[in-house]
Amino acid sequence: MTVKVAAAFILMLFFLSTACQAKLSSSFYGKSCPKAESTIRTAIRTAIARERRMAASLIRLHFHDCFVQGCDASILLDETSSIQSEKTAGPNDNSVRGYEVIEKAKSKVEKICPGVVSCADIIAVAAREASAYVGGPSWAVKLGRRDSTTASRDLANTDLPAFTDSLDKLTSRFQKKGLTARDMVALSGSHTIGQAQCFTFRDRIYNASNIDAGFASTRKRRCPRTGGQANLAPLDLVTPNSFDNNYFKNLMRNKGLLHSDQVLFNGGSTDSIVTEYSRNPAKFSSDFASAMIKMGNIHPLTGSSGQIRRICSAVN
């Protein structure tokens, strides 16, 4: 009898485990909100058509959300008496963008399926749509995340990568989130459509030794030694509006704009991955999609955890 009870208990745990794993599914809204993804897609495409730069911003928004507390839309919460907003954390303040785009997509979805689709899922779908719109890969987004009721500015300040990070520090940050060095390099490839503010690369273009002289000279035009802190510059000068593998080709020519970019190809353990992606755009595209799926699975809230926010910037 005891053996049977134990066996039944183990079987129950197996089914509970399977059920938990099944909570994130690409068909999660198949019955509850079948037009969710197409509605989000339309909103995201409209936003990027209006401003091409928004594609990179939405991919980055997903990244900065998932690295703090998991993919739970905590990054969207505004400051309140009980919430320390992640929006004002050092890596996000006056840097992360796209909040209003997600909010608009949420309002569109709420009109057809009120209280069904989470803001966390909208961020994940938005990143996929942003990539596809500018020529990058697409992938099946696993859905079923719920929204957090908390945020952590402290974790945002400690867990998010910094533009001054060494290769070892970057690798460690990604490993703590369950991501490999290959995932890290692939995800960094999205910088091919990104832009950076002058203060993030000033030290590199004026003081670094591992930088192409002509490249540094060109970048100094938009980034003086003093002033111009927020002046923007594309991370990839060649094809700044297209998702391709030029980012990796640039690194091999010492034309990485950020210190944290160039460390990926600087005589270290990730040089071979950068070289591979520079020669094989299809492999980069495939690995990027896989890494985005993997990143989107970092500690999601499912089942009865969290909530489905009615407005993404505030808890219900």
Question: Could you tell me the residue ranges of all domains in the chain?
Answer: 35-160, 167-295
**Does the annotation place 239 within a ligand binding site?**
yes
Structure confidence at residue 16 (pLDDT) = 43
Model pLDDT for residues 142-158, shown as the tens digit of each residue: 999 999 999 999 999 99
How sure is the predictor about 245, in pLDDT bands with cuts at 50, 70 and 90?
very high
Closest CA relative to residue 194, chosen from 229, 138, 228, 241: 241
Using a pLDDT cut of 90, give the percent of the chain over it: 91
Stated pTM of the model: 0.91
Is 86 part of any known ligand binding site? yes
276 is in an annotated binding site: no
What is the model's pLDDT at position 23? 78
Stated as kind and residue range, the H or E segment containing 232 is strand 232-234
154 is in an annotated binding site: no
Measure the N-to-C terminal CA separation of the chain; round to a whole number of Å: 48
114 is in an annotated binding site: no
Taking 60 as the threshold, does the pLDDT of residue 5 lie above it? no
pLDDT for 19: 41
pLDDT, position 270: 98
The DSSP string of 32-95 is T-TTHHHHHHHHHHHHHHH-TTHHHHHHHHHHHHHTTTSSSSGGGPPP-SS---GGGSTTTTTT
Annotated catalytic residue within 62, 64, 259, 299: 64
Q: What is the pLDDT of residues 203-225, one digit of tens each?
A: 999 999 999 999 999 999 999 99
* Chain centroid offset of residue 169 CA: 18
Look at residue 314 in the predicted model and tell me its pLDDT: 97
pLDDT higher for 7 or 310?
Answer: 310
Quick one: what percent of the chain has pLDDT higher than 70? 93
What rounded mean pLDDT belongs to the chain? 93
In this model, does residue 15 exceed pLDDT 70?
no
Residue 191 known to bind ligand = yes
**pLDDT, tens digit, 9 for 90 and up, residues 74-122:** 999 999 999 999 999 999 999 999 999 999 999 999 999 999 999 999 9
pLDDT (tens digit per residue) in 275-294:
999 999 999 999 999 999 99
Concerning whether 64 is annotated as a catalytic residue, the answer is yes
pLDDT for the residue numbered 26 = 95
- C-alpha 32/C-alpha 83 separation (Å) is 31
CATH number (1.10.520.10, 1.10.3720.10, 3.30.420.40, 3.40.50.2000) of 35-160 reads 1.10.520.10
Task: Give me 36's structure tokens.
Answer: 């969710």
CATH 3.40.50.720 for the 167-295 domain, yes or no = no
